[in-house]
């Protein structure tokens, strides 16, 4: 049988891990598919983008995607891929996280048109669900032996698993049944560690309705260097700009290993095969150009944070790593730079400057910015020619005056090749 457009697309991108028999035929007729997202954090992280892109490809090939935020299951915690119990969170926290994640998902999916996406929250049916109702209507369809055989449970037996997390797969199975009955969903997608939970839903739908449904899993992303994908020295890389700045987000993709960038272009962008293969070739022939990494960083930053954030991240990167002229930096780039390098407010204000043109010495500026431990340390560095002000090498302890400020407020100091600091005139 000819592979459907969705499976063909996922296959060449390396996103097809496992699926149920008969999915090809079901896709040929068109279907509704869903993926769940855990709201135990106030933002998705870059690892979450694999299933997000699964929904994107579903919609692009004519199927209806449902993005389901787990406002109900988030109160419990999925044991899949976890070695210990999750810390339970309050209902208010879960609700706030669910709203934030829903807004992030809306950047990727089209909620209008012939295959309009559907946004859902399983709190709608799980929070009103009574314990007796759950045991009678859901639990009776599963034996303990069936549940113990699931990998997400087996992996936790030795260290211990609470009844709360043990029962998680029943709630996820009930989600699938609810979406099947409410929206006609016949496919659930997720990471490869979700296979057991998804197939439990297939079993529940079969037992309750007699209908056939399907599962499709996507690979868990790893790096060629053996580190966990989406982790940096500073922690996880989130989609929320307040948790991971657009500049840091951009740099995460720019710094992709040559061994990873080809896979990540396939996983996370919508670039066509010919374009990606051309970038593969350039990476092999001219790795120093980092064309693939730059394309990946621009595509992802623009999609997640918007074109203005991309321009700002590019400006900051060009300054810090390319030595570009700081006089051309936009106000937005300077504001972003203040979050990435040492930053201090100058002791003089706009009122001072307009009144008498006050200034302060360069030695004082270096100390205030944290680039020198003392005025004598600053003086030695200046004498050695290691300091520049707004891109111009300083030759002495000339005063820093308001007229020198970039956009009327900022002074960019540089010590040596890579040590930057920013001062800003107080309002």
φ, ψ for residue 219 (rounded to 5)?
Answer: -70, 150
Mean pLDDT, the chain, rounded, equals 88
Which whole number is the average pLDDT over 239-245? 94
In a domain, 199, yes or no: yes
What's the total number of domains in the chain? 3
For residues 211 and 237, membership in a common domain is answered with: no
In a domain, 416, yes or no: yes
For residues 69 and 147, membership in a common domain is answered with: yes
pLDDT at 80 over 70: no
| Confidence tier at 255 by pLDDT (50, 70, 90) | very high
Which whole number is the average pLDDT over 137-154? 80
For residues 146 and 69, membership in a common domain is answered with: yes
Query: Residue-wise over 93-130: b if at least 16 C-beta within 10 A, else e?
Result: bbbebbebbbebbeebbeeeeebebbebbbbebbeebe
Determine what percent of the chain is predicted with pLDDT higher than 90. Answer: 54
DSSP assignment, residue 45?
A: B
pLDDT at 299 over 70: yes
Q: What is the pLDDT of residue 351?
A: 52
Q: What is the pLDDT of residue 347?
A: 57
| Confidence tier at 282 by pLDDT (50, 70, 90) | very high
Place of tokens 């004498």: 383
For residues 351 and 313, membership in a common domain is answered with: no
For residues 55 and 199, membership in a common domain is answered with: yes
Lowest mean pLDDT: which of 336-340, 348-352, 360-364?
348-352
Determine the structural domain holding residue 263 and report its residue range: 231-325
pLDDT at 52 over 90: yes
Domain closes at, from 188, 218, 248: 218
φ, ψ for residue 231 (rounded to 5)?
Answer: -105, 140
Question: Bigger pLDDT: 427 or 352?
Answer: 427
Domain closes at, from 169, 192, 218: 218
* Helix (H) / strand (E) containing 387: strand 387-389
In a domain, 333, yes or no: no
For residues 82 and 170, membership in a common domain is answered with: yes
| Confidence tier at 265 by pLDDT (50, 70, 90) | very high
Q: What is the pLDDT of residue 298?
A: 97
CATH of the domain at 299: 1.10.240.10
- Among left, alpha and beta (phi > 0; psi -120 to 50; other), residue 399 is beta
For residues 69 and 213, membership in a common domain is answered with: yes
Highest-confidence segment of 165-174, 224-233, 299-308, 347-356? 299-308
What span, in angstroms and rounded, lies between the C-alpha atoms of 180 and 200?
14
Task: Dump pLDDT digits (tens) for 386-416.
Answer: 998 888 888 776 677 667 788 888 889 999 8
* Distant-in-sequence, close-in-space partners of 392: CB < 8 Å, separation ≥ 6: none
pLDDT at 246 over 50: yes
Task: Dump pLDDT digits (tens) for 83-129.
Answer: 555 567 788 998 899 999 999 999 999 998 888 999 999 999 999 99
For residues 105 and 133, membership in a common domain is answered with: yes
| Beta strands 18-19 and 214-218, pairing class | antiparallel
């Amino acid at each position: 049988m000819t592979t459907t457009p969705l499976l063909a697309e996922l296959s060449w991108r390396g996103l097809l891990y496992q699926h149920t028999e008969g999915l090809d035929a079901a896709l040929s007729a068109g279907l509704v598919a869903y993926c769940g997202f855990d709201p135990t954090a106030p933002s998705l992280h870059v690892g979450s983008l694999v299933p997000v892109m699964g929904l994107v490809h579903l919609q692009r090939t004519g199927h209806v995607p449902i993005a389901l935020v787990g406002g109900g299951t988030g109160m419990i915690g999925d044991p899949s891929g976890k070695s210990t119990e999750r810390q339970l969170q309050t209902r208010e926290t879960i609700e706030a996280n669910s709203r934030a994640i829903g807004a992030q998902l809306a950047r990727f999916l089209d909620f209008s048109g012939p295959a309009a996406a559907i946004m859902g929250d399983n709190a709608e049916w799980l929070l009103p669900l009574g314990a007796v109702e759950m045991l009678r209507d859901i639990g009776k369809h599963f034996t303990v032996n069936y549940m113990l055989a699931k990998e997400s449970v087996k992996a936790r037996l030795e260290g211990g698993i609470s009844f709360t997390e043990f029962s998680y797969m029943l709630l996820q199975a009930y989600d699938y049944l609810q979406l099947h009955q409410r929206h006609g969903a016949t496919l659930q997608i997720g990471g490869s560690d979700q296979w057991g939970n998804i197939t439990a839903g297939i079993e529940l739908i079969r037992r309750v309705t007699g209908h056939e449904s399907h599962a499709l899993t996507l690979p868990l992303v790893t790096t060629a260097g053996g580190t966990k994908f989406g982790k940096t020295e500073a922690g996880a890389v989130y989609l929320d700009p307040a948790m991971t700045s657009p500049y840091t987000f951009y740099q995460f993709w720019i710094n992709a290993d040559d061994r990873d960038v080809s896979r990540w272009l396939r996983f996370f962008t919508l670039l066509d095969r010919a374009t990606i293969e051309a970038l593969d070739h350039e990476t092999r022939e001219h790795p120093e150009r980092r064309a693939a990494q730059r394309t990946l960083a621009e595509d992802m930053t623009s999609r997640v944070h918007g074109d203005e954030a991309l321009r700002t991240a590019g400006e900051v990167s060009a300054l810090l790593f390319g030595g570009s002229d700081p006089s051309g930096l936009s106000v937005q780039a300077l504001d972003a730079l203040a979050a990435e390098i040492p930053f201090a407010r100058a002791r003089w204000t706009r009122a001072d400057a307009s009144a008498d043109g006050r200034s302060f010495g360069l030695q004082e500026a270096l100390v205030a910015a944290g680039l020198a431990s003392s005025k004598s340390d600053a003086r030695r560095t200046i004498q050695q020619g290691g300091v520049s002000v707004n891109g111009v090498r300083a030759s002495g302890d000339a005063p820093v005056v308001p007229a020198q400020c970039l956009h009327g407020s900022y002074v960019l100091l540089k010590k040596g090749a890579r040590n930057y600091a920013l001062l800003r005139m107080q309002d």
